[in-house]
Structure 1
Amino acid sequence: MRKIILFGLMAAAAMPGIAAAQSHGELRHDRRELRQEQRELRDAQRHGDRRDIREQRRDVREARQEYREDWRDYRRTHRDVYRGGNWRAPFRYSSWSVGAQLRPSYYSSRYYISDPSRYRLSRPGANLRWVRHYNDVLLVNVRTGRVVQVNRGFFW
């Protein structure tokens, strides 16, 4: 009997970690669910009564909240996975702003984000690269060294 209770306690302790491990598939499912709830709300607004509309609004709100929570969990778990790399530069932190010009050592290929879609960053245009600078992400024109966009605290 003690073994069963002990095993149950160990399983209960492991559950939050398992629940926090989100995947792209779960996020896609949540997005689909949110879109479905929004469609049902539009249908209720067209053809339903007040009670139907109120219920559908609540469903949309709950679906949106669940998606936000899952996205937050996904970012937290995957940020920890990718944090292991050496992103610390051989220079001190500087807070950059749009229009600033960087020296080439600040945006060398070592600091490029090779797969921006993994972090939900937009696809950079010609001669533009997403560059990690400590916990910030900069969109830099690699020909001129000019900062085009800044996302501060992106990795925290």
Structure 2
Amino acid sequence: MAAVLIREATEGDCGEVMRMIRELAEFEKLLDQVRINEEVLKTDGFGENSFYHCLVAEIPPDHGDALGSTVVGYGFYYFIYSTWTGRNVYLEDVYVMPKYRGQGIGSKIVKKVAEVALEKGCSQFRLAVLDWNKSAMDFYKSKGAKDLTVAEGWHFFRFDNEAMRELVKK
């Protein structure tokens, strides 16, 4: 495999990232929950007050390939804050196209997020994995992540849009 470049995404990458977001959602059997599009990605990630950061994994073109470099994966993250430990980074997604898996690309993305977290003074790097995705759990554990559900009994909760609307009515 050729060298892989892990770099910050640009607005021009949003189409490829959106395609891979849909691929990941389909793999997770949650495609019906994808509500954003390429324009939302551009607005939310590249405006004055961006809501997220994104890394892309790019492979250079083969010799004679007129198409140029190819984006084959991404890592979506943002910063959160803990009242106990201060700055944290939350990894929303890591995705590598199936054809390119098993080549260390996901590991390079995770490593780069950890590097960013340390550069920004973060005390923790957090993420969530669906309970049926054993390969993802094993991957993160092999990198040194601790399963807080098992170790500390934490459960993650979410208010969706409808629940928020009901909450503010009360």
**TM-score by shorter chain over 0.5:** no
Point out the structure with the larger strand share. Answer: 2
The structure carrying a bigger helix percent of its residues is 1
Give the number of the structure whose alpha-carbon radius of gyration is greater: 1
The two structures have a TM-score, normalised by structure 2, of 0.21
TM-score (norm 1): 0.23
